[in-house]
Every structure is written in C-alpha cells, then in structure tokens.
Amino acid sequence: MNGNESSNEPLPGLAVYNPALLKKEDLIAQFVARQPLLNRLVEELRRCGGKSGCQHQLIVGPRGTGKTTLLRRLRYAIEDDAELSSRWVPLVFPEEQYNVSRLSDLWVNCLDALGDTLERWGRKDDADWLDRQIEKLPADDEKRRAQAALDLLIGWARKENRGLVLLFDNSDLIFDRLKDDHWAIREVLSGDNRLLFIGATSATIEATYNHEGAFYDFFKIHELRGLTDQETREVITNLARLRNTPHVIETLEREPGRIRTLNLLTGGNLRTIVVLYQALARGKDDSIRADLEQLLDQYTPLYKHRFETMSAQSQQIVDALALNWDPTTAAELAEKLRMETNAVSAVLNRLDSDGVVEKAPSPPGEKMFFQIAERFFNIWYLMRAGRRVQRKLIWLVEFLKIFYGATELRPRARHLAQEPGKWDEAVVFARKFIVEGDDEYHEENWPDSISFFRDAVATGHTEEAVALLDETEYDERWRPLREALQAIAEDDSSYLLRVAPEIRQPAEEIVALLLPEGVRLGSAPKLARARRTRRKKSQD
C-alpha cells in the first residue's frame, strides 16, 4: 500500500496504543518528542548510586502523552550503555498489573520481570532457578511471603552487584491497590539503594501531594505536557522520513497553519499526533476538517468504551462538563444537572483522581474550575453531540484555519477607525467581513479585519467591537476574537481562564496582536495612555 491509498487500517511499524509491539529499532527510531526528558533520566542514573542513594522518579501525564514509550526507551538506553548496564538492570512490566492486591504480589512481579530479563539474556538456567525459588515462597503468611520475595530480589541484586530499575507503568493502579502498604514501600525504597523506582501515571497520586501521605516530597516528579507546534512538526517529519512519505512533509511546508490548528485541537497529545500522521500519509483530502474527522473516527471505539465503563452518575457529569466545553465550577454543573453541589464535587474529585477530569486554573477569588482532562476526548464528544453544538466546533476549525493560515498581516485598507468621525464607516467594513463571504473571502480580508479591531482597541472602541460581534449573532464563529476583545475591554489578564483551552490559546495570541506594543492586560493606566497617544497622532 502506498502512502496515498485510503484505508482505516493502522500503518505497519507504528504502534498507537501498545509500544511493546514495536521492534526495538523501530521504537528508537521513532522516539523524538521526549528525548530531552530521556536524557535527564539517563544522566541522573549516571550520577546516582553508592552511599548517596538515588532519587526515585515519577512521570505524570495524561493518556497518550508518551509515558509507556518513554519507559521502554529508557530500558533500551540502559541496556545499550556499557557503563549503565554494568550497574543497573532495567525491569519492565505489563502496563496494567491487575494481579497486584497485596504487597507480596508487587515483589513477586518484580521477580517474574527479573526472570524474563534473565531468559532474554540467554541465562535460562538462572531464570529456571529463580522460578523454583518463587514457587517455594511461603503461601500461608502474607507478611512472611512479602519479606521472603523482597529478600530474594535484593539478594540477587547484591550477588550480581547491580541495582534494579523498576520501570512501573500505571503506578497509580499499584499505589491505589496497596494503600495500606505505602509506608512499607517507602521504607524499602528508602532503605536499599539497589532498588530504583521510575514510574509513570496518568492520574495524580494523593500520597505524593498530601502532607500526611507516605510519598509526600518523596518522588522527583516530571510532568509530560502536550507537544508544542515545533515538537509536533518534528514527530510527523521524522515519521514521514522513516516511512518514505514525502508528500506529508510537503503538506507541512505548504500549510503550516494546518499543523498548528490540529495540534491545538488534539491538545498536543503524542498518541493522537501519530494517528494524525497516518491520516496525512494516506489521505487525499487536503482539508483540516477531513483530517479532524479521520482522527475522530479512529478514536471512536476507544472513547466509547471509556465512556461506557463509567458509572451512570459519572457519565451524566462528564456529559455536562464536555458539552459546556469551557471550564466550570461544581456549583455551576450542579445547577445545570439539578443535583446537590456536594454530590457533584465528590464525583468530580473521583474523576480527577482517575484522570478523566482535571482542576483548571481559576481567576483569583473564584471557586475551583474543572474541565475534561484529555482535550481531544472533549472535541470528540462535541462532534457527537447535536447539530448546534457541532457547529461551535466547526466554526472554531474554520476560524483557526484562517487565523493560523495567514502568512502576513499587512492591511491594504485605510485605518478608518483611527480617523475622527470615521468609526461608523469602519464598522460597515467590519460588519461585512463578519457576516458575508466564504472561507476564501475571509482569508483574503483577515489582515484588514485585524487592522480594524486593533484600531478599535487603540481608539477606545473595544466594547463597541465586542457588541458588534454579539449583535451580528456570529460571535460563536469568531469566538476567539470575541473573547480576546472582551479580555481587553475588562483589562483582565485572568478573564481567558474562563474559556476552553482550544479557544484560549488563539485568543491570547489575538490579544497580543491587538494591544499596542509593550502593553499587557491588567495595566489599565498604561493602556489608557496608549489610546490617548494614538488619538493625538491621528489628529495631527
């Protein structure tokens, strides 16, 4: 199959959901985005050991941000480095260790992982010996079994004079199941520097931030955030080179705004970026909307399953939060759902622990905001909602296409809004731009429209510009622009915290375009002086 053939099958050599299926050389070749963090982890491994001990690590990030792949890549980095492999043995585990219910299960899983490693090294006799020792562990006393398994594990490390790097994925599942053993685990990890814990989790672990928790201030925490536009470009370009799909690179060069738009809508999720590459590699339709629809189709089975496994009450709250789109408080959700605020808060906190929702930054003096944690899930949910809700998202896509597709912002029209007595004349042009025309018309006239709104801000007509968008009933189509103007009108740097991240980011960029150079939100006197200066210049 060549790169332009249409198919819904995943391209061979790419693992979207299970990096363990990738060959070592493929995983290494495709590993780009998280290279800086890998380098830091490797350097810390080089430095640690001896009497000083080592800092245990925890990698925190939403689903699909590359945590599992990073742990796999770290394993190969240790094994392929002569100095590190002489001191450390990386142990890898299944992503979900559902068999862990007691502390002894944790240490036995470590022994099983060690046995797999020995067998992979060709040391079958040693692996068989270890299996026999596991069979002899006490079965009638949990405390004795856990201690015996731990002694066997550490005993092997001492005999080999090497440390064990425990690469635990989904660490939150383990810690949640072993809540009564947190202090015992901390004591083991603190007391023997031959065990180094490097875990990954998609949900915050309460015991790491609660002052009373066993792991408070214990792990060095690395947060995986969404990819930047540049990182997304590097990932897709690397995949295109590896898989000989030059037309994908040509698309990136021809339409830089396309990547910026899709990266914003996907939240920079690494897994989704790989799926986006697949869509670009086999797609014939050069439209952002077609790309988005392919992505949403690919994710439908996963997201449907995830939503359907929630409790009925959780589904109700996630539905309301996703359709609201903007961050909101528990009290506001409770009012919409006609439920008690305490009941909604309890469910939101549980969903936060599960990584389904997250606490969002809120303006000073306001209650905690919540939003859907995985932003592309929110986008997916909006597209499956009613037509009016869908339209909001489609309008955003069209706006972003115009905004990020613009290569220059040099207006061709006169600055009518700056000329005394010409505001009404300028409004006629602006209203025509807002209401009329197709995408091509909007793209062609975007520089002039930005010039109009910039002049509106400079001449003190910001509130009138907001009203203009509202009265034309096209404010949803131009919502990032409208929210940017409203933030300027209120001169409030925290105003945009009230809107969805997909709206907020372009709105923040528009604010920077509209304000005079050197002026920031929250500096009203400075903004007022800038307006007076611009008025005086227009009169001279």
Model confidence pLDDT, tens digit, residues 338-378: 999 999 999 999 998 888 999 998 888 889 999 999 899 99
State yes or no: pLDDT of 3 exceeds 90: no
Q: How far apart are CA 184 and CA 200, in angstroms?
A: 20
- To the nearest whole percent, how much of the chain has pLDDT over 90? 53
Nearest 5 degrees, angle CA 117-CA 121-CA 124?
85
How, if at all, do strands 369-372 and 357-360 pair?
antiparallel
Chain-wide mean pLDDT for the chain?
A: 86
* pLDDT score for 525: 53
User: Given pLDDT bands bounded at 50, 70 and 90, which one contains residue 473?
Assistant: confident
Q: What is the pLDDT of residue 539?
A: 47
Residue 415 has pLDDT above 80, yes or no: no
pLDDT band at 537 (very low <50, low <70, confident <90, very high): very low
Confidence band of 315 (pLDDT split at 50, 70, 90): very high
pLDDT at 498: 94
Q: Do the beta carbons of residue 8 and residue 285 sit within 8 Å?
A: no
Domain chopping of the chain, boundaries: 34-223, 310-373, 406-539
| More confident: 202 or 508 | 508
Question: What's the pLDDT at 15?
Answer: 65
Task: Give the model confidence (pLDDT) of 274-295 as tens digits.
Answer: 888 888 887 666 678 888 888 8
pLDDT at 527: 53
| Nearest Cα to Cα of residue 322 among 367, 278, 370, 274 | 370
CA distances from 183 to 103, 168, 216, 479 (A): 11, 18, 11, 50
> ∠ CA(169), CA(71), CA(14), 5° rounding?
100
Q: Give yes or no for a contact between 392 and 325, defined as CB atoms under 8 angstroms apart.
A: yes
Tell me which of 3.50.50.60, 1.20.1260.10, 3.40.50.300, 3.30.420.40 is the CATH number of domain 34-223.
Answer: 3.40.50.300
pLDDT, residue 52, reads 59
- Mean of pLDDT values over 440-445: 77
Domain at 310-373, CATH class: mainly alpha
Q: ∠465-468-470 over CA atoms, to 5°?
A: 115
Residue 204 is predicted with a pLDDT of 80
The string of pLDDT tens digits covering residues 225-241 is: 889 999 999 999 999 99
Query: Does pLDDT of 462 surpass 60?
Result: yes
pLDDT at 42: 95
Residue 47 pLDDT: 86
- Tokens standing for 97? 């260790």
The total of other beta-carbon atoms located within 10 Å of residue 21's CB is: 12
Section 385-414 average pLDDT: 74
**pLDDT value at residue 402:** 84
Give the residue-averaged pLDDT of 436-462: 82
Q: What is the pTM of this model?
A: 0.80
**Per-residue confidence (pLDDT) for residue 6, from 0 to 100:** 36
Q: By mean pLDDT, which of 49-63, 458-472, 514-528 is the weakest?
A: 514-528
Averaged over 31-52, what is the pLDDT?
86
At residue 514, the pLDDT reads 92
Contact between 491 and 521 under an 8 Å Cβ cutoff? The reply is: yes
Report pLDDT for 257. 84
Question: Which of 74, 28, 355 has its CA nearest to residue 199?
Answer: 74
Where does the pLDDT of residue 202 fall: very low under 50, low under 70, confident under 90, or very high at 90 and above? confident
CA distances to 154, 184, 195, 287, 505 from 191, rounded to whole Å, are 11, 10, 9, 58, 46
Q: Among 114-118, 327-331, 535-539, which stretch is predicted with the lowest mean pLDDT?
A: 535-539
